[in-house]
Structure 1
Amino acid sequence: MDLMYWSLIGLLFVLAFAALVFPILPGVLFLAAGFAVYGFAFSFAPFNTAFWVIQGILFVSLFAADYAGNALGVKRLGGSRAALWGSTIGLLAGPFVIPFAGILIGPFLGAALAELIVHKKGIKESAAVGIGSLLGFLGSTLIKGIVQVIMIGYFLWHVL
């Protein structure tokens, strides 16, 4: 039975990392579900107040990295609020419209098209905003991956 529970916990953690590539998946919830499965299957005793406070701060940082990375990338290269929305829509829709490459093309196209259509910017300026969106997404994905590794490592440190 222990093997089954640990397999489920491992699967939930893998799904949390899959959410880095498919942002429609709730990565944070998969991490929390992994912690909960451990608690219900084995014990919540290893999870003291400090554990929950630290994990809570890291959970919030995952959301902050998601928003800040995209916003900074778009704003840094002169993008507007419309580009930020376009980038977000492209990020969510891209993997479904263009499998595999859509995760990279979607935010770029969403931001660039928003600048072209809404603010009537030129192709060069719009492409720069699209690149900013893509760089922001890649940076936030890297940060989120690192934070998730820290969260899982901290979890394992408490339970093993």
Structure 2
Amino acid sequence: MNDTLLWILSGTLILAGFAGIVLPALPGTLLVFAGIVLGAWIDDFTRVGWVALAAIAVLALLAWAMDYVAAMLGAKRAGASRLAIAGAVVGTVAGIFMGLVGVLFMPLVGAAVGEFIARRQHGQALRVGIATWLGLLAGMLAKFVLAFMMVGIFVFALAV
């Protein structure tokens, strides 16, 4: 396969990874990492070596863990029930079919509905929904920052 086509595929994987940070149907950080590994492979790992790839892999694992930790911390801090957490997951999946607005706000709705079913308290349900939603947004922001750092290390290694 032509190197130009492989570089296009590498860039496409990285861009799809950034989309996947917002869209839960795509494994965002994994796609960014795959695009970077492909780019390093195209160059026979001469400019992007194993040290850079190891640093990028650590950032990818950190981004993956951050996704779960941020959402759970937001939910736990507000005293969320298991139904609230399950509702956030269902809301996230349902939001995929509603576009960007659905992806951003359906986890809040799902967590609030789950909490309301569990405890039948309007105020608590809304508080849990908002805390879970803020945790998800914080995780998404952290994943963006880490993905940009991954790409930054990759580009720096290519340029040097």
Structure 2, unpaired ranges of 5+: none
CA distances 1:67-108 after superposition (whole Å, capped 9, x unpaired) = 011111111112123212221221122121x22211122111
Q: 1:92 and 1:143 mapped to 2: Cα distance?
A: 21
Q: How many residues align?
A: 158
1:6-17 mapped onto 2 (5 Å cutoff)? 6-17=7-18
Q: 2:111 and 2:24 mapped to 1: Cα distance?
A: 17
Structure 1, unpaired ranges of 5+: none
CA distances 1:12-47 after superposition (whole Å, capped 9, x unpaired) = 111111012211101122112212322332212233
Give the aligned partner of residue 64 of structure 1: 65
Give the aligned partner of residue 127 of structure 2: 128
Is residue 107 of structure 1 aligned with residue 107 of structure 2?
Answer: yes
TM-score, normalised via structure 1 length: 0.89
Q: 1:154 and 1:40 mapped to 2: Cα distance?
A: 15
Further displaced range: 104-113 or 40-49: 40-49
Further displaced range: 33-42 or 15-24: 33-42
TM-score, normalised via structure 2 length: 0.89
1:16-31 mapped onto 2 (5 Å cutoff)? 16-31=17-32
Offset, 1:143: 0.8
**Over aligned residue pairs, what C-alpha RMSD do you find?**
1.7
- Contact 2:18–2:144 (CA<8 Å) still a contact in 1? yes
| Percent identity of paired positions between Structure 1 and Structure 2 | 33
Paired AA for residue 110 in structure 2: G
Offset, 1:2: 4.4
Q: 2:151 and 2:73 mapped to 1: Cα distance?
A: 27
